[in-house]
Homo-oligomer: A and B are copies of this chain.
Amino acid sequence: MTRNAAPATAAPTVIVVDDDADLREALAGLFRSVDLAAATYASAADFLAARRTDGPGCLVVDVRMPGLSGLDFQAQLADHGIHLPIILMTGHGDIPMSVRAMKAGAVDFLAKPFRDQDMLDAVSAALARDVERRTRDTGLQALRTAYETLTGREREVMAQVTAGLMNKQIAGNLNLSEITIKIHRGNVMKKMAARSLADLVRMAEALGINQT
């Protein structure tokens, strides 16, 4: 907690992936000029190989690269558990390509040459999107962690409680006595750190719990 404090608000890194070394350095310089940390890779494979940390940031990727193209790269990121917002750029792109990229969730798609400001705006939007996703994600992660400490029965009870059933109904459904449900229910509230039933219902919503 003393070191590596506040991971959510850590300085974001703009990751440039382009096979053109000159452009890489130019972009890195641009980002550093506005106090943004920048990292550069010559190919998608390089990035995937080097990837260790997963701090906040975004990707700036050329679509036309030897090996994995930017579009394929974009498609494969999710498989690697990487959800960084991506900005694509191209020197020889066309409309279908840009539309495909945007449909796939790219933050922006810039045709070269572009103005520095356009790139900075795109990066700004991408970083904002990443922050938003991370905050939403860490909250959900805490919930999931708590949910995993529940036993099987407790999960069943939680599902039916948050569905609005009364203890006696749940008891009937599970062929148990009402008092047993109360016990499980109390355990659920404690383990999930829910202050009220309303709280628990919202947690169930966030976790996507739909009773059978």
The reply to whether the CB of A55 lies closer than 8 angstroms to some CB of chain B is no
Interface contact B162-A198, CB-CB below 8 Å: yes
Identify which of residues 174-212 in chain A touch chain B, using a CB-to-CB cut-off of 8 Å.
Answer: 195-199, 201-202, 205
Instruction: Say yes or no for A109: interface residue by CB 8 A criterion.
Output: yes
Contacts of A136 in B (CB 8 A): none
Assembled-state Cα–Cα distance A111/B164 (Å) = 51
Whether A98 is near chain B, meaning CB under 8 Å from some CB there, is yes
Known: A93-B95, A94-B95, A98-B95. A163 touches B198 (CB 8 A): yes
> Is A143's CB within 8 Å of the partner chain B?
no
Give the residues from 73 to 92 in chain A that come closer than 8 angstroms, CB to CB, to chain B.
90
Contact residues in B for A197 (Cβ distance below 8 Å)? 164, 197-198, 201
Query: Shortest beta-carbon distance, A41 to chain B, in Å?
Result: 24
- Cβ-defined partner of A109 (8 Å) among B90, B99, B196, B201: B99
Residues of A within 8 A of B (CB): 90, 93-96, 98-99, 102-103, 108-111, 161-165, 195-199, 201-202, 205
6 cross-chain pairs, A with B, having the tightest CB-CB distances, nearest first: A164-B196, A164-B198, A102-B102, A201-B201, A95-B111, A198-B201
